Amino acid sequence: MPTRKRTLTGYRPTGKLHLGHWFGNLQNMLALQQDYDAYYFVADWHAMTSLWADTHEIRAYTEQMVLDWVAAGLDPEKCTIYRQSDVPEVAELTTYYSMVTPMSWLERVPSYKEQREQITDRDLGNVGFFLYPLLQAADITIVRAECVPVGEDQAPHLELTREIVRRFNGTYGDYLVEPATLTPKEGARVPGTDGRKMSKSYGNAIFISDGPDEIRAKVMGMITDPARKLKTDPGDPDICPLQQIHKLIAPAEDITGWDTCCRSAECGCVAHKRSLIDGLSAYLAPFRERRAELAARPGYAWDVLADGARRVRPVVRETIDAVRRLVHVEQ
């Protein structure tokens, strides 16, 4: 059997997964686990770079993330699911990268600049936050991943990873693998209930573990076409977040049905909201059931992570041993 290509991606454990994760990235991760040697990890150190003053929730979020992932269809038999902090070799590799990386490369990472400017309720002047992209480069290269499925927002981190790889290889010898970015074909941008990009920090997210009552409350409060004031006004589905979410879950004939009905002002937004509530509740029901089953098994998530850590160990040992030889710290 030809060896499968290796892929890796990580999520920061900062809360429950929502529809934006599911349509933007998670579905793609499910597809990749079939044909790739896939490594999916919980980036708890990355979460800590911004939550450092209050770390106690990261553990609970880590557990929830594993339950969400497996309930959504990641199969711990097919892919390797592990926790970053269970692989201390990542921190060692970050140290070597900190030797070859000029400070100016990190200062010009767009997400770093933006977040330092925009996030004012937390202190992000810590060195850990500055090193975020180096740690990410270590995550990727420690398993020698050939491709990384991530959204557009992560492209600069991937580019920086490639630059570090080239500089490391140029300095010490050609060993590290340059990872390619694997942007999903239809990395859907999912609108939140207020029409902005769905994000936990905007408070506009529908979580994949939400039950019918939560779904009802959130969908009833959604904005639709802002120009449509009266039911008799024709609506424009192209700018309606309700319609955009509906499109992701509904059969094609329903989508055209609602589209025509909205444009001709034959049906109103409330009726459409009711239909989306039923549609979403049904769409997410199997996920909720599966998640409840897993959550009822004591220690399940931690067992998955322990098994993943055991499986990733030989891979990272091979990298770190080779790197140690190249930088002349081998024993």
* Closest approach of ligand TRP to the CB of residue 321, in Å: 22
Contact between 49 and ligand TRP (CB under 6 A)? no
* Closest approach of ligand TRP to the CB of residue 115, in Å: 11
CA 184 – CA 161 distance, rounded (Å): 19
Contact between 148 and ligand TRP (CB under 6 A)? yes
- According to DSSP, the residues that pair with 81 across neighbouring strands are 40
Query: Which span (135-143, 163-171, 221-229, 316-324) binds ligand TRP, by CB under 6 A?
Result: 135-143
x/- letters, 241..260, toward ligand TRP (CB under 6 A): --------------------
Contact between 109 and ligand TRP (CB under 6 A)? no
Contact between 48 and ligand TRP (CB under 6 A)? no
Nearest to residue 140, comparing CAs of 116, 117, 159?
159
Near ligand TRP by CB under 6 A: residue from 18, 21, 46, 162: 46
Contact between 136 and ligand TRP (CB under 6 A)? yes
CA 46 – CA 58 distance, rounded (Å): 10
* Closest approach of ligand TRP to the CB of residue 10, in Å: 4
Structure tokens at 122: 């937390």
Query: Which span (4-12, 207-215, 261-269, 310-318) binds ligand TRP, by CB under 6 A?
Result: 4-12
* Closest approach of ligand TRP to the CB of residue 319, in Å: 15
Structure tokens at 307: 């098994």
Which amino acid makes up residue 249? I
Contact between 10 and ligand TRP (CB under 6 A)? yes
CA 79 – CA 111 distance, rounded (Å): 29
* Closest approach of ligand TRP to the CB of residue 41, in Å: 8
- According to DSSP, the residues that pair with 18 across neighbouring strands are 207
Structure tokens at 51: 């939550």
Contact between 184 and ligand TRP (CB under 6 A)? no
Contact between 43 and ligand TRP (CB under 6 A)? yes
CA dihedral 151, 154, 160, 166 (to 10 degrees): -30
Q: Which is nearer to ligand TRP, 145 or 219 (CB)?
A: 145
CA 12 – CA 205 distance, rounded (Å): 16
Contact between 80 and ligand TRP (CB under 6 A)? no
Query: Which span (92-100, 134-142, 166-174, 247-255) binds ligand TRP, by CB under 6 A?
Result: 134-142
Q: Which is nearer to ligand TRP, 140 or 262 (CB)?
A: 140
* Closest approach of ligand TRP to the CB of residue 265, in Å: 41
DSSP at 114: H
Contact between 138 and ligand TRP (CB under 6 A)? no
CA 35 – CA 7 distance, rounded (Å): 10
**E-assigned strands of 105-195?**
147-148, 180-181
Q: Which is nearer to ligand TRP, 200 or 290 (CB)?
A: 200
Structure tokens at 168: 């490391």
Instruction: Report in angstroms the alpha-carbon separations of 12 from 85, 193, 211, 285, 313.
Output: 12, 23, 24, 25, 21
* Closest approach of ligand TRP to the CB of residue 241, in Å: 23
Nearest to residue 165, comparing CAs of 183, 178, 182?
178
Contact between 140 and ligand TRP (CB under 6 A)? yes
Q: How many residues does the structure list for the chain?
A: 331
Note the residues at the interface with ligand TRP (CB under 6 A). 8-10, 12, 43, 46, 136, 139-140, 148, 150, 154, 157
